Structure 1
C-alpha cells in the first residue's frame, strides 16, 4: 500500500487567523493569481480546489465535477517557512519560532565562519537570492569570498560561483556553518546556493543543498522503524536532515520532481513517497512573478492526471502546501496562510475533509493508513480516504 504526498511548496489558500501578526492579513496565493491571470486549473478543480474554503476559481473551474476530497490545514507552529511547515506535517509542533537574523549574523558567528573557511565574506544581511548574486557576484569573482545572506526565514545561505568555489568545497563550508549555528545561534537551515555564468549570473538550483537541524522524532521515523518504505523526492531529505528516510532522490526542478515521483509510483514499495515541488516558491513566489507562478501551476495541473492514473487500488494521493508565498504581496517573503489539502484515491467518495486543526493531521493519517503507532499530535482522517 502506498501513500503519495506531493507538497506544492508555497501554494497557500488564504490568510490564517493570526496572519496580521506576520503582516500578512489579506494574503491569498491561489486567489490573487487567479484574479490577476484568469488561470484555469481543471485537474485541481476536479479534486475539489474550488470547494476549499475561501478559494475562488474561474467560473468554469467552479462548475467542474469533483471526484476528490478537499479541505485546508491550519498551521499551529509560529512560523511561515519550509522547515516549520514540513516538521509540523510529520508531527512536530514548534512552541517557539526558529531564530531569524534580520540585521545579519553577529560578529561571533562570522568570525568563526571565516576561521573555518579561511576566507572573508560578502553581504551578511537579508537579501533576495537573485539580487544578491547580481549585486555581489562580481566582488565574489574578484576576492573569492563567499556571499553570505539570510531572509525572513531562519536560514544562513552561502552563494559561490562554480568557477571560483568547487561545489564540494561549498558543501564543506555549509557543513562547517551548520556546526557553528547551534544553540543560541541555531537556524533551521544552512543552504548552499551555487551560481554560474556572467553578470547578472544564474543560480545553479540543481546543485542547491540544505543542511537542516535534526527534528525530534517524526512520523517518518515511526514508519521507517516499523519497516515501511519512506521515500523523499526533491528537498524532503534535506528538510528532515535525512532522519527517517529510507530512500532519497534529489531533483532540480518541478518537472524532474514529477517525473521521479511517477517513476517511483510505478515501482513496488510499501509506505510513503513524499515529494516537494519547490519551483512555485523559489522561482516565482519570492520573485513576485505572478505570470510565472501561474504558468508553473498550469504545468502541474497538466501533469496531475498522470499522477492520479498511476495509483493502484489501495493507494492514496494527497496534495498539501507548507505555507503561502503570494506573488502579489509586498516584499519578497513567505505569507502566513492555510495549507492546501486535496486527496484522491480510486473509487474515493468525494467529501469535505474539514478545516484540520494542525498540519500534523497529515502525519497522523499516514501513520494510521500504514498501521504504525503514533502518539504525537495530529488527528487522522484516514477513514475518510477509504
Structure 2
C-alpha cells in the first residue's frame, strides 16, 4: 500500500524569490519574520524534522540529525496566488499570471453581473475583506446589494450578510460571476464571503466557498484518478481544482478541522491514495490580516499536532509538508508575497537528505508520479530516489 499526503501550510513562505521586487515583495519571509517578530517560535517537532535546516528560524535551530528530508522550492509560474501555487504543486505551470483588477472590474462586466442577479452592487474596488464590510456593511443591510471587491490577487469576491442573502443565493451569484469571468477576464477564483453581525461588529463566517477556474491541462490528480488511484481533497483543495481530478472532497473550515480530517482519512483509507490537504487559517485569518501573534500561535498549534499525524502514517506512506506562496504578516502589505516555500518529506525509510533548492513546485507532482509508478509529464524533476535509497537500485 502506498499513500502520499500533501499537507499545504497555506502561505507559510520561507523567503523572497529573486524576482520578488517585481511583485513589491522585497524583504518578505513569512516564517522567518514571524519567528523574529515574536521572539522565537516553539516548534520542537518540526525542529526535529529539520524545519530550521531550511532557513534560519528563531527558536527553531537546525539539527544535525533531522528526521526528514528538507529543502525549499521556487515558484516557476508567474504569480503568487493560491491557485497558481497549488496548480504548480500538481504539475501545471502558468506562463502568464491570472488577471488582476487594481482599478476594479470593467463597467460592462459589472453591468451584466447586476443584470443577471437582478440588483445593483456595492464596492468594486481592491480592499481587505474585513475592512470593506466595515465600510459598506451597513449600506448592504439597508439595500440588500452585495459587496463586490478584489485584491492584489486574481479574485472576484462577493460579500453578503447571511441574514440578508441566504447562503445558497450567494453561492448562486458566485456561479453567475464564474460564468461571466472567462477569456481575458478568467480570474483564478470567485469567492463567496458571507458575514454576520451588526454595524461596528461584523464578522466573516466559515461558510466561505471558492469557485475556481478549471485547470487548463491535466494535473497529477487527473493522472492518479485515471489510473484508479483515488484523490481525497481536504479543505479548499477541490475548489482550487474546480473538482477536476478529485475523487472525494472532504470539507474542513479550519486548520484544526483539516488536521482532524487528515488523521481520520489515514485511519480509514487502507488503499493506494493521495490525500491533499490545505490548512487555510495561516493565510485567511492571519496572513491577510497582518496578525503576527495569531500566525505564530497557529504555527505552534500545527507543530503540536505533528506527532499525531506522524503516528497515523504506516509503512510505505510519505508525508510532504509544504506551502503554496507567502503572506508575510510583518510587512505593510496584506496580500500574498512572492516567496520560496518549505519542503519536508516524512516517512519510514526516508533518507534525511538536503533536497536543496528545487526550481519548481512541480517537482512534487513528478515525485508523486514516480512514487505511484504512473506516467505523468511535467517540467518537474522527481526527487524520489534522493529520499528513498531503495529506489536507486
TM-score, normalisation: structure 1: 0.97
Residue aligned with 1:227, SS: coil
Tell whether the 8 Å contact from 1:364 to 1:379 is kept in structure 2 after alignment.
yes
Q: For residues 33 and 192 of structure 2, what CA distance do their matches in structure 1 show?
A: 31
**Is residue 58 of structure 1 aligned with residue 96 of structure 2?**
no
Cα displacement string for residues 218-260 of structure 1 (whole angstroms, at most 9, x for unaligned residues): 1100000000010000000000000000011111100100000
Residue aligned with 1:266, SS: helix
Cα displacement string for residues 162-187 of structure 1 (whole angstroms, at most 9, x for unaligned residues): 10111000010000000000012110
Tell whether the 8 Å contact from 1:127 to 1:149 is kept in structure 2 after alignment.
yes
Q: For residues 217 and 60 of structure 1, what CA distance do their matches in structure 2 show?
A: 38
Q: 2:366 aligns with which of 364, 367, 371?
A: 364
Q: For residues 139 and 64 of structure 2, what CA distance do their matches in structure 1 show?
A: 54
Tell whether the 8 Å contact from 2:70 to 2:345 is kept in structure 1 after alignment.
yes
Residue aligned with 2:61, SS: helix
CA change 1:198–1:44 in 2 (3 A) is same
Gaps of 5+ in 1: none
**Equivalent runs, 1:114-129 vs 2, <5 Å:** 114-129=114-129
Tell whether the 8 Å contact from 1:12 to 1:337 is kept in structure 2 after alignment.
yes
Find the counterpart in structure 2 of residue 80 from structure 1.
Answer: 80
Count of matched residue pairs? 383
Residue aligned with 2:231, SS: strand
Tell whether the 8 Å contact from 1:41 to 1:61 is kept in structure 2 after alignment.
no
**Is residue 102 of structure 1 aligned with residue 118 of structure 2?**
no
Q: For residues 254 and 59 of structure 2, what CA distance do their matches in structure 1 show?
A: 31
Find the counterpart in structure 2 of residue 218 from structure 1.
Answer: 219
Q: Return the offset for 1:349.
A: 2.3
Q: For residues 228 and 344 of structure 1, what CA distance do their matches in structure 2 show?
A: 21
Cα displacement string for residues 16-58 of structure 1 (whole angstroms, at most 9, x for unaligned residues): 0111111111111111111111112111111111111xx2123
CA change 1:384–1:109 in 2 (3 A) is same
Find the counterpart in structure 2 of residue 139 from structure 1.
Answer: 139
**Equivalent runs, 1:25-36 vs 2, <5 Å:** 25-36=26-37
Find the counterpart in structure 2 of residue 10 from structure 1.
Answer: 11
Tell whether the 8 Å contact from 1:71 to 1:342 is kept in structure 2 after alignment.
yes
Find the counterpart in structure 2 of residue 283 from structure 1.
Answer: 285
Q: Return the offset for 1:159.
A: 0.5
Q: For residues 63 and 340 of structure 1, what CA distance do their matches in structure 2 show?
A: 16
TM-score, normalisation: structure 2: 0.96
Tell whether the 8 Å contact from 2:48 to 2:63 is kept in structure 1 after alignment.
no
**Equivalent runs, 1:295-374 vs 2, <5 Å:** 295-374=297-376
Q: For residues 276 and 60 of structure 1, what CA distance do their matches in structure 2 show?
A: 23
Q: For residues 31 and 286 of structure 1, what CA distance do their matches in structure 2 show?
A: 17
Cα displacement string for residues 140-166 of structure 1 (whole angstroms, at most 9, x for unaligned residues): 110000000000000000000110111
Q: 2:274 aligns with which of 265, 272, 277?
A: 272
CA change 1:119–1:60 in 2 (3 A) is closer
Q: Which runs of 4+ in 1 moved over 2 A?
A: 57-65
What RMSD, in angstroms, separates the aligned Cα atoms of the two structures? 1.1
